[in-house]
Amino acid sequence: MLNKLAIGGIKHRIRDYSVLFSGLMIAAAIFYMFMSLAMNKDFLNSNSPAAATVFIFGFGAVLLAIITVVYINYANKFLLSMRQKEYGMFMMLGAKSSKISKMIFVETFIIGAIASVIGIILGIFATGFVGQLLMKNLDMPVKYFSSFYMPALITTLIFFIVIFIFSALRNSISLRMTKVLTLLNKDSQPTRIKRNTVWTVFQAIIGLIFIGIGYAAMIHMGSNPIFIYIGVPVALVTIVIGTYFVMNSLTTTIISALKKNGKFSQKGLNNFTLSQLNFRIKDYTKILSMVSIMFSLALGAITVGLGFYQQIDTVVNGQKYYDSQIININSKEKALVDKMSGASTNRYDYKTTDKTVYYRQSDFKSQPFTYSHFNMDSMFSTQKKSTSLNNDEVKYEIQSSMLPKNQTKEIKAVSDQEYNNIQGKANSITYVKTDSFRKNLTPIKQVSEEQQSRFPSMKNAIADKYVVYKNINGFFSGLEFMGFFLGIAFLAMLASCLMFKILSGAAGDVKRYNMLHKIGARQKALRASINKEIAVLFAVPATLGIVHVLVGLQMFKALLMKPYSNLALPFIIFFVLYGGYYFLTRHLYKKIVLK
Partner 1 sequence: MQNIVDVKNIEKIYGKANEKQFKALSDVNFEVQPGEFVGIMGASGSGKTTLLNILSTLDTPTRGQVKIAGEDITQLKNNEMADFRANQIGFIFQDFNLLENLTAYENIALPLALQNRSNKEIKPAVARISEKLGLTEILNHYPTELSGGQKQRVAAARALVHQPKIIFGDEPTGALDSKSARALMDTMTKINQEDNVSILLVTHDPFSASFCDRILFIKDGEIGQELKNESHSRGEFYQEILDSLGTFAE
Which stretches of the chain bind partner 1, using CB under 8 A? 187, 189-190, 192, 262-263, 266-272, 275-276, 278-279, 511-512, 515-525
Q: Cβ of residue 263: shortest distance to partner 1, in angstroms? A: 5
Q: Cβ of residue 182: shortest distance to partner 1, in angstroms? A: 14
Q: Quote the CA–CA distance of 101 and 24 in Å, as a whole number.
A: 22
Amino acid present at 77: K
Going by DSSP bridges, is the β-strand pair 410-414/356-360 parallel, antiparallel, or unpaired?
parallel
Q: Quote the CA–CA distance of 298 and 495 in Å, as a whole number.
A: 11
Element at 531 (helix H, strand E) = helix 523-552
Q: Quote the CA–CA distance of 313 and 444 in Å, as a whole number.
A: 14
Identity of the residue, 276 or 434, whose beta carbon is nearer to partner 1 in the bound complex: 276
Q: Cβ of residue 267: shortest distance to partner 1, in angstroms? A: 6
Start-end of H helices in 414-464: 416-421, 441-454
Identity of the residue, 69 or 516, whose beta carbon is nearer to partner 1 in the bound complex: 516
Q: Cβ of residue 174: shortest distance to partner 1, in angstroms? A: 22
Q: Cβ of residue 30: shortest distance to partner 1, in angstroms? A: 34
Tell which residue, 577, 595, 571, has the closest CA to residue 538: 577
Identity of the residue, 512 or 557, whose beta carbon is nearer to partner 1 in the bound complex: 512
Q: Cβ of residue 45: shortest distance to partner 1, in angstroms? A: 55
Identity of the residue, 180 or 525, whose beta carbon is nearer to partner 1 in the bound complex: 525
Identity of the residue, 516 or 546, whose beta carbon is nearer to partner 1 in the bound complex: 516
Q: Cβ of residue 190: shortest distance to partner 1, in angstroms? A: 5
Largest pairwise CA distance in the chain: 113
Q: Are 39 and 155 in contact (CB under 8 A)?
A: yes
Distances (CA, A) of 515 to 167, 185, 270, 518: 34, 17, 16, 5
Q: Are 2 and 99 in contact (CB under 8 A)?
A: yes
Identity of the residue, 385 or 511, whose beta carbon is nearer to partner 1 in the bound complex: 511
Identity of the residue, 26 or 274, whose beta carbon is nearer to partner 1 in the bound complex: 274
Q: 3-state secondary structure string, 282-329?
A: HHHHHHHHHHHHHHHHHHHHHHHHHHHHHHHHHHHHHHCCCCEEEECC
Q: Cβ of residue 254: shortest distance to partner 1, in angstroms? A: 17
Tell which residue, 406, 382, 381, 380, has the closest CA to residue 395: 406
Identity of the residue, 137 or 185, whose beta carbon is nearer to partner 1 in the bound complex: 185
What is the distance of C-alpha 560 from the center of its chain?
17
